[in-house]
Structure 1
Amino acid sequence: MKPTITLSILLAFFFGTSHAQLKKSLDYDTAKIEAKANNKDIMIVLTGSEWCKPCVKMKKNVFENQEFIDYATERFVIFEVNLDRHWDMDSKVYKDYSYFKDKYQSNALPTLIILGSDETKKAVISEKLTSFEKTMEHLKQIK
């Protein structure tokens, strides 16, 4: 009887405990509208999260960290531009990537571009994004 109760409690805990996922928009216009409506900054994420080694590390160490998820959800609307390994130069993703990297002068992956809800540039971060601590340090310095 006791092992059944213990197992039931463990299963309830395991399956009942959920971690929030980081909500990301794949459409910039939608992200702008949501940022204005909720008075949040916009975080544009330029990444190649499946093939770029620093991007993979950033995803694992930062974007999947519950503390980052909570912080980012509270403060930002996230617009992600995630390049495939073999991108199509005519695709919306590549056009978005090309536009934002040129506009904010970033040639690095990963890059975080932080804009106010009015689209004023606050920061472009492309260094030490594989470290949770360093990324949070950068973000918390932005006013």
Structure 2
Amino acid sequence: MKKAIYIFLISMLTTVSVSAQELTWHTDMGQASEFAIKEKKPLLMFFTGSDWCGWCIRLQNEVFKTDEFRKWANENVVLVELDFPRRTPQEDKIKAQNYQLQSMFQVRGYPTIWFVNPEMNSEKKISLKKLGSTGYVAGGPTKWIGAVASIL
């Protein structure tokens, strides 16, 4: 009986530890901007073709799905995924938002990552102050984080 309780407690601690490392990728830019303003963090806007772009998938696997990136992202940015899938269905509202942002930031290739500071004006409208952009950086999370440090 004691062994079963011990195993249960260990599994619960592991679950809490793993869930604390999970990332939240927002898809609604308005909600993400409000959250970023509240948290006083910049937005990391990830323009991706999640179901067809090889470099996007590689960036996800080599950087975004690592513990090092999770820790860095949770401390430094609010994540926004702006996806342009070919096979995966997408809500019309999200699709329109993503195309509008793609045009606004003149995104021509994937993956493209823009860092912006959302700011709310006196009329309660949000504007996005560009900080800089990057894409895929070879070398894993340490190199990628190092490359974006100058942007932030």
Instruction: Quote how far apart the aligned CAs of 1:15 are.
Output: 6.7
Out of 113, 134, 140, the position equivalent to 1:125 is: 134
Residue in structure 2 matched with residue 141 of structure 1 by the alignment: 150
Per mean C-alpha deviation after superposition, the further-off stretch among 24-33 and 14-23 is 14-23
1:68 paired with 2:66, answer no
Residue in structure 2 matched with residue 22 of structure 1 by the alignment: 23
Residue in structure 2 matched with residue 47 of structure 1 by the alignment: 48
CA distance in 2, matches of 1:15, 1:88: 35
CA distance in 1, matches of 2:92, 2:144: 29
1:86 paired with 2:78, answer no
Residue identity over aligned pairs, in percent, reads 21
Query: For the structure 1 residues 82 and 13, does the alpha-carbon distance in structure 2 shift closer, same or farther, using more than 3 Å as the test?
Result: farther
CA distance in 1, matches of 2:58, 2:30: 28
User: TM-score if structure 1 supplies the norm length?
Assistant: 0.79
RMSD of the alignment, in Å? 2.8
User: TM-score if structure 2 supplies the norm length?
Assistant: 0.75
CA distance in 2, matches of 1:77, 1:47: 16
Instruction: Quote how far apart the aligned CAs of 1:106 are.
Output: 1.5
Instruction: Quote how far apart the aligned CAs of 1:98 are.
Output: 1.7
Structure with the bigger percentage of strand: 2
Unaligned segments of structure 1, at least 5 residues: none
Instruction: Quote how far apart the aligned CAs of 1:47 are.
Output: 1.1
Query: For the structure 1 residues 50 and 9, does the alpha-carbon distance in structure 2 shift closer, same or farther, using more than 3 Å as the test?
Result: farther
Partner SS state of residue 50, structure 1: coil
